[in-house]
Amino acid sequence: MDPLLSIANWFEGVLVGWGLAPWAVNLILSVVGIVLLCTVMLVIAIWCVWVERKVVARFQDRLGPNRIGPFGLIQPFADIIKLLIKEDIAPKGIDKVPYNIAPILALATVLTLWAIIPLSPSILGSDINVGVLFIVGIGAISTLGLIMAGWACNNKYALLGALREVATMISYEVPMVIALMIPVILASSMGINKIVESQSSYAYIFIVPLAALIFLVSSQAELGRAPFDLSEAESEIVAGFHIEYSGMKFGMFYAGELLHAFTVGAIFSSLFLGGWSGPFVDRVPVLGIFYLFIKSLFIYWVIMWIKYTLPRLRIDHMLSFNWKFLTPLSLALLMVVALLNKLLQNADTWVYVLGMLAGNILVGWVAILLSRRQVKTPRKEFAADRPVARPPESAPVTPIPDPGGD
């Protein structure tokens, strides 16, 4: 029995009893569902603020928020009140339209992604058959919001941070999209719910772990989090593309970043961890929400672990890693997975799983060998061309005459 579905059916019956037309009933149900989902996601974003502060405090051997409320639980609400009452300051010379639209895009695009993420077998906003393409398209709109924010501020540091962020996002979208195609091949569908349903026997992370790793690294770069946080390199560009935003406009950028990290965890869980699938979901479908939340929270914790552990990369190293290693690796993996999926489609389940896993391990091993050889070769060439510094030859020592004349 699904209590949420029962409530929705009851509310639909009430609307029909009022004599409303079918299109009006569908419209009201859709609006109510959207408002409820957005409200829950914004509450989760507030909760993520507390979680992230507690996690980073543990990594840095601190306590984190512990004054306002038990365990500091009310601290995020105090920060929201502070942002709400802060004065909205806009610098001179800004382009007002993109300046004001950019924070809305930063948060709205993240909320829009939840329209296609299945929360349970019976709770899904829109079961479109091109859900993977929808994710890619919404990611492009979020990129537009960042460049609008940097351009409209009339600040060279904000523009530099926006250009860095956009360069990172566009670059790492290539291996991310290629990695997205691997679950599509395995499930023979672009619908997110179909991909989740196809993982009823085993999660895809056990047969294509390399694809999951590529998607996670690319998503980390898309989020602009360390070690890919060049848009907020404080030692170089102050605070990135949102340096000229204050009050709730800055709060919308911050909430969008936190909620985007949790949303990436939900997308990763749906593509590689089975999403809402778990024990007793067929009997109690509402358990799917719990399973999806736990899996998403675990990936969110991994993202925080990477952020607060690794140092920031240089822009040239970051882009070289993408174009010279991650993109060729994802292309090779895509071809190997497509070939093995065709060859093993009629094999037993255990043969299929072991064959896919062996293919991933082989591709990863070859990639590591080639990268190590590529790294060692320039070092040898540099050492061969480098002149060897030799100590100067010692001059002959001239004896000092004895002043005594003896």
- DSSP states along 262-303: HHHHHHHHHHHS-TT--TTTTT-TTHHHHHHHHHHHHHHHHH
CB burial of 29-60 (b: ≥16 within 10 Å; e: otherwise) equals eeeeeeeebeeebeebbeebbbbbbbbebeee
47-90 pLDDT tens trace:
988 998 999 898 888 888 988 888 889 999 998 898 888 888 88
Mean pLDDT of 136-152: 86
pLDDT of residue 387: 60
pLDDT of residue 6: 81
Q: What is the mean pLDDT of the chain?
A: 86
Residue with tokens 């047969």: 207
What does residue 117 show for φ and ψ, rounded to 5 degrees?
A: -85, 115
368-379 pLDDT tens trace:
998 888 776 555
Contact, 157 vs 237, CB < 8 A? yes
- CA 48 to chain centroid, in Å, comes to 14
Pairwise CA distance, residues 271 & 252, whole Å: 27
What end-to-end distance do the CA atoms of the chain give, in Å? 118
The token pair that represents 374 in the structure block:
């590529």
Considering the entire predicted model, what is its pTM?
0.87
